[in-house]
Amino acid sequence: MPRWTTFESKDKMTGELSAYATSPVTTPIPQMSFPYQDVKAWLDVGYDGDSEWVYIRFNTSPNLTNTITSYGYYGYTSYGYDQIKTRLKWDDEIEYVELTQKWGDNALHFENDHSAILRIKKSKTLLLELQWHGEQSTYFEFTLNGSSKALNKIKATF
């Protein structure tokens, strides 16, 4: 059975260290048609000693429908992003959440990182529902077995 993996990354400019835990890769249910037939997804959790974050990463930028277009600012830079309201299923409990995707990015970010990380630690599976352009409802099921051990390992890095 595939396992969660961990790795560290050092910022070349600042020398600051970050540690990451990554779930095994999953594919959509049902399989999507062309041009999305090769889409894969995984969970990434990051920690830098002060803050933690979690996102769902894809091997290609998700082309989602039923999103709300928004704009944000980071320093002096503005950027566009989409808000995605969807359902997650943690084991047997359904939760309505909002995820965000910067335009062109291949990751969906959780609105509440801390809450999502607590759920990842205590659950066995996560089922994500998305409305991909031109497809019926698409689901990604992530195994969370071993996530607590991986998350503890990245925290212990600091």
For residue range 130-153, what is the model confidence (pLDDT) as tens digits? 999 999 999 999 999 999 999 999
Where are the chain's structural domains? 5-156
Whether the CB-CB separation of 81 and 100 falls below 8 Å is answered with: yes
Q: What is d(CA 56, CA 108) in angstroms, rounded to the nearest whole number? A: 5
pLDDT in tens, 66-97: 888 887 766 667 678 899 999 999 999 999 99
Judged against a pLDDT cut of 80, whether residue 35 lies above it is answered with yes
Burial of 108 (0-12, 13-18, 19+ CB in 10 A): buried
For residues 11-32, average pLDDT? 96
Q: What is the pLDDT of residue 74?
A: 66
Judged against a pLDDT cut of 90, whether residue 99 lies above it is answered with yes
Judged against a pLDDT cut of 70, whether residue 11 lies above it is answered with yes
DSSP 8-state secondary structure symbol assigned to residue 154: H
For residues 110-120, average pLDDT? 95
Q: What is d(CA 91, CA 21) in angstroms, rounded to the nearest whole number? A: 20
Distance, CA of 25 to chain centre? 11
Q: Of how many residues is the chain composed?
A: 158
E strands of the chain, at which residues? 5-10, 17-22, 28-29, 41-47, 52-58, 67-74, 77-90, 93-102, 107-110, 125-131, 137-143
Whether the CB-CB separation of 44 and 52 falls below 8 Å is answered with: no
pTM: 0.90
20-67-129 Cα angle (round to 5): 60
Picking from 51, 42, 30, the residue whose alpha carbon sits closest to that of residue 120 is 42
